[in-house]
Amino acid sequence: ADPEQNLLVIEDNGIGMTKDEVIENLGTIARSGTDAFFKKVAELTKSEKKDEALELIGQFGVGFYSVFMVAKRVDLETLSLRKEGEAVLWRSSGEGTFTVLPGERTEPGTKITIHLKDDAIEFSTKWRIEAVIKKYSDFVMFPIELEGTVVNRSAALWRTPKAQVTAEQHAEFFKHITQSRFGDAPLATIHYSVDAPVQFSALVYVPQKAPLDVFMFQKERPGLKLYAKRVLIMENCESLLPVYLRFLQGVVDSEDLSLNVSRETLQDNRTIRTIEAQLVKQVLKELGRLQADDPDAYRSFFEQFGPVLKEGLSIDFKNKDELTDLCLFSTLEHDADWISLKRYVDEKKEDQKAIYYLTGTDRAQLTKSPHLEVFRKKGIDVLLLTDPIDEWVVQAIGSYQDLPLESVAHGKLELDEPEPERDDETKSQLDGAVAAVKKILGDRIADVRLSKRLTETASCLVAREGDPGANLERIMKVLDDRAEQRKRVLELNPDHPIVKNLARQVARDAQSPRVELWSELLYDQAQLSDGVVEDPAALVKRIQQLLVETSTAAVES
């Protein structure tokens, strides 16, 4: 490099080129583009004229003419190793023409002198050249010297046989490509190579911890580094992995990629799609192996990346079954453990006809939900889902091993419970209480009915079948303040003393102020259990009124 002369010189001691090869190779690129040049080299390779099939990436070929983005003129002097070879000087200003003159070189090899434009002087400085080499050509097969010092690594770890790579080497390379943003060592490694239908090598790491931005919307999401013949052509190739695997780090290197002259975009999307399908298959297989062989490590992984992985259930229908098996869930019966749906089904009650779940924002609060009372009493396990995406996950899964996923806070609960025996008078009083509450609450609710899910609490709110639950409504409200709030069903526990007293009071005097007060308080209590009260001030007033009545009665008795 010569900053004073604004020059950048690149030289090798290879086999060089003859005059005909210079005209044919560089001229072909100028006239027909990179695709034609690739086809020519492929033909030479198939005809076993491999000595004539120049290695394009990193030498002359694809990307060569992009030099004129920074160069006003390029002089290429070369001498072929062939006996008939003569020194040749190729010169071009990148305007579609070139000149070939006799050269003065006396040793085989090639020297490229780049006359930089005035606004590209940075490419004549050592630090800038070294940065470019390390970014794009750190792993090319041959050593690259800058002012006498080798600056590239040469050895590509992903091209090394899997059995020969140590854990220490993986840790070092992992930190190198992630800049230590994901920890010091990977949790799992996918080291994979195939030759058909597309040739590629992949070295993909599952990190141990997630950076905050993995959960955030980004205009340009992270992706794997894409190499062609060891040369970096894309820093973050989003197309190599679906969005739900965006936490993976690593590289993919292929011999079968077609490139344009800028090396920044891919011409053959079919090749990339094939690589993506193979990668996803291998990644899910490796995660399944980790889940089976090291449950604690997999639990650690899922705690970090579970919400991201679960996104795949809504978009990757081809791998839905594999993704479903990889999901872990907290449950009512498993306080300190997370389990798979397979384990849930293996442990379910013999006559159980569904997989039950409840969604919310906090596990501790969910365990106190009145919707779980009958399940706790019967020893039926319930999935406790606290990730916002879980609302969509259960819809995407739908059913597992022919068992539908059913919300315990939706619809009429069917647990094959025999109807309790009640005398006609009790039935009539309860029916009267239901009618009275429904009349008092009016259009604030969708319906009032007696509950089969409550064993301790007096009342609860239930979403109608097909309507969003309370948790999903809260999420939608955050996303859009205009989101519609659906009316819900108020369920009353017919065995609770408050409901029994209400039924007797309605039978005695349906117009009593106590009927309205108790009805409103039953609705307030149900709202409180859901974490939302429509009118807190009115609730406080009703509580005060009730306290006045009870305290007065206590003092005067």
Same domain, 120 and 239: no
Least confident piece of the model among 46-55, 88-97, 357-366: 46-55
Q: Which among 203, 184, 206 is positioned nearest to 297, based on CA atoms?
A: 206
pLDDT of the residue at 355: 97
- DSSP label at 266? B
Q: Which residues of 17-37 are buried (b: 16+ CB within 10 A; e: fewer)?
A: bbbebbeebbebbbeeebeeb
Are 219 and 266 contained in the same domain?
yes
The residue that leads in pLDDT, 108 or 28, is: 108
Residues 78 and 205 in one domain: no
Q: What is the DSSP letter of 408?
A: T
Indicate whether 223 and 251 sit together in one domain.
yes
User: Which pLDDT does position 264 carry in this prediction?
Assistant: 47
**Are residue 78 and residue 163 in the same domain, yes or no?**
no
Q: Taking the mean position of all CA atoms in its chain, how far away is CA 178?
A: 17
pLDDT digits (tens, 9 = 90+) for 282-291: 999 999 999 9
**DSSP per position, 8-57:** EEEEE-S----HHHHHHHHHHHHHH-HHHHHHHHHHHHHTT-TTTS--TT
Per DSSP (E only), the strands in 177-221 are 188-194, 200-206
Q: How far is the CA of 301 from the CAs of 143, 186, 223, 337, in angstroms?
A: 38, 11, 19, 14
Say if residue 402 is in the same domain as residue 428. no
Lowest mean pLDDT among 32-36, 130-134, 181-185, 504-508: 32-36
What is the maximum span of the chain, computed from C-alpha positions, in angstroms? 124
Domain-embedded: residue 299? no
Q: Please give the structure tokens belonging to residue 134.
A: 């390390």
* pLDDT over threshold 70, residue 59: no
Alpha-carbon torsion, ordered 267, 270, 274, 277, to 10 deg: 100
- Are 167 and 259 within one domain? yes
pLDDT digits (tens, 9 = 90+) for 379-416: 999 999 999 899 999 999 999 999 999 999 998 888 76
Amino acid at 374: V
Tally of domains within the chain: 4
**Residue 234's pLDDT is what?**
84
Place 54 in a pLDDT band, splitting at 50, 70 and 90: very low
Residue 322 inside a domain? The answer is no
Tokens linked to 549: 């009545």
Same domain, 167 and 288: yes
Q: Which of 267, 293, 319 is the last residue of a domain?
A: 293
Strands 489-492 and 88-92: unpaired
pLDDT at 263 over 60: no
3-state secondary structure 542-555: HHHHHHHHHHHHHH
Residue 106 has pLDDT above 50, yes or no: yes
Mean pLDDT of 363-373: 93
Give strand ranges (E) for 337-431. 338-339, 355-359, 383-385, 399-400, 403-407
Mean of the per-residue pLDDT values of the chain: 86
Q: Is the peptide bond before 143 cis (omega within 30 degrees of 0)?
A: no
Residues 381 and 445 in one domain: no
User: How far is residue 433's CA from residue 140's CA, in Å, rounded to a whole number?
Assistant: 82
Residue 306 lies in a domain: no
**165: Cβ contacts below 8 Å, ≥ 6 apart:** 157, 191
**Phi and psi angles of residue 236, each rounded to the nearest 5 degrees, phi first:** -130, 90
Among 99, 124, 149, residue at a domain's last position: 124
Q: Give CA–CA dist 401/12, Å, rounded.
A: 64
Least confident of 35-39, 258-262, 267-271, 503-507: 258-262
Assigned domain for 276 exists: yes
pLDDT of residue 420: 78
Q: Return the CATH number at 258.
A: 3.30.230.80
260, 56 Cβ separation under 8 angstroms: no
- pLDDT, tens digit, 9 for 90 and up, residues 310-323: 999 999 999 999 99
Output the CA–CA distances (angstroms, integers) from residue 322 to 69, 402, 447, in the order listed. Answer: 47, 16, 40
Query: Of 272, 293, 314, at which residue does a domain stop?
Result: 293
Q: For 146, left (φ over 0), alpha (ψ -120 to 50), or beta?
A: beta
pLDDT at 42: 64
In a shared domain, residues 448 and 369: no
How much is the average pLDDT of 255-263?
58
Determine the angle formed by the axes of helices 513-530 and 424-441, rounding to 10 degrees.
80
Mean pLDDT of 452-464: 93
Q: Is residue 216 part of a domain?
A: yes
Give residue-wise pLDDT tens across range 150-169.
988 767 888 888 999 999 99
Of 183 and 42, which is predicted with more confidence? 183
Of 152-161, 442-451, 466-475, give the range with the top mean pLDDT: 442-451
Reported as a single tens digit per residue, the pLDDT across 515-540 is 999 999 999 999 998 888 888 898 89
Alpha carbons 88 and 109: distance in angstroms, whole number: 11
Asked if 3 contacts 125 with a C-beta cutoff of 8 angstroms, the reply is yes
538 to 412, 502, 517, 544, 545: CA distances (angstroms):
30, 20, 11, 10, 11
State residue 330's pLDDT score: 95
pLDDT of residue 56: 43
Q: What is the CATH number of the domain that holds 386?
A: 3.40.50.11260
Q: Are 30 and 93 in contact (CB under 8 A)?
A: no
Same domain, residue pair 258 and 375: no
CA distances from 537 to 438, 533, 543, 544 (A): 22, 10, 10, 11
Which CATH number do you get for residue 436? 1.20.120.790
CA distance 304 to 298: 10
Greater confidence, 408 or 196? 408
Mean pLDDT over 214-236 rounds to 75
Per-residue confidence band for 178, with pLDDT thresholds at 50, 70 and 90: confident
Is residue 97 assigned to a domain?
Answer: yes
Mean per-residue pLDDT, 504-513: 94
The residues that bridge with 443 in the sheet, in sequence order, are none
Q: Does one domain contain both 205 and 260?
A: yes
Percentage of residues in the chain with pLDDT exceeding 90?
52
Q: Is 0.75 surpassed by the pTM of this model?
A: yes
Going by C-beta distance under 8 Å and a sequence separation of 6 or more, which residues neighbour residue 502? Answer: 433, 436, 437, 515, 518, 519, 522
Q: What is the DSSP letter of 370?
A: G
Would residue 307 count as lying in a domain? no
Q: Which two tokens stand for residue 62?
A: 């694809």
pLDDT of the residue at 219: 54
* C-beta of residue 106 within 8 angstroms of C-beta of residue 91: no
Share of the chain above pLDDT 70, in %: 88
Q: Domain range holding 371?
A: 328-407
Kindly state whether residue 418 falls inside one of the protein's structural domains. Answer: no
Mean pLDDT of 78-95: 89
User: By the 8 A CB rule, do 467 and 423 touch?
Assistant: no
